[in-house]
Structure formats: C-alpha cells, structure tokens
Amino acid sequence: MANSEHTFTAIKPDGVQRGLVGEIIKRFEQKGFCLVGLKFMQASEDLLKEHYIDLKHRPFFTGLVKYMHSGPVVAMSNLADSKPGTIRGDFCIPVGRNIIHGSDSVGSAEKKIGLWFQPEELDYKSCAQNWIYE
C-alpha cells in the first residue's frame, strides 16, 4: 500500500505491570493505526541486547537490558515528547520507567520488527484500511 509504513512499538515492563496495555493499544487504534502483530512475551537478554545495540556503549545500557528483562513486554508492529495527552505524558512516572518504546525511524523500525517478529506473524490486513487511508 502506497500510504502505509510499519513501525515497532513495545509496551515496557512497567506499563505491563501497571495494567496499561489495553489503554495504550486503545490509543493507537483510536488514532487509526492498524495493529498487525502483537506478542505478550518475556524477552531474552540476547534479544534485548540486540534490540538496544545502538546504546551498547552508553552507561545505562546494562541497567536498561536488566529492566527490560525484569518482566513481560508487549511487542507491537522518538516518543521523547511527553506532553499531556501522550502515552508517556499521561502514564510515565520517572524517565527511566517510560512505559513504551517506539522506533525513531523507518530503518530502525524495520530492524526491530525483524528481531521481534517472523514475517508470517505479520500477515494481516484490516478491512477498515480502505476506509481510513486514500
């Protein structure tokens, strides 16, 4: 589809533990985004190290991997702006527990989708697609 673009989003362990999964997914769906893949899973440390490979030399890398491995996440196919009305603005408490990950570019999204999903897991087309996009 000419007007479509894929991204990768993950609800982090703090969002899962606080019971915000449904509310976060609801916001994406109400905006008109089509959810084509979803996994509720405990990510392995190896997967998380690969996911955050671009942050490998940052001082918080080890803590980030440990935090992301601390509980299940919801993986879905820069949210740095935390204004009221945004997921982070409404639900985040400290910066280190910021509820959700979102890819910051098309290239990053493609790489992360490939880490978390097999192609056959994303073979979904919503019948509403033609109603929303021209």
Active site residues: 101
The number of C-alpha atoms within 13 Å of 43 and in the hemisphere containing its C-beta is: 27
Instruction: Assign 51 to helix, strand or coil.
Output: helix
- Pairwise CA distance, residues 25 & 23, whole Å: 6
Nearest to 31 by CA among 7, 58, 59, 50: 7
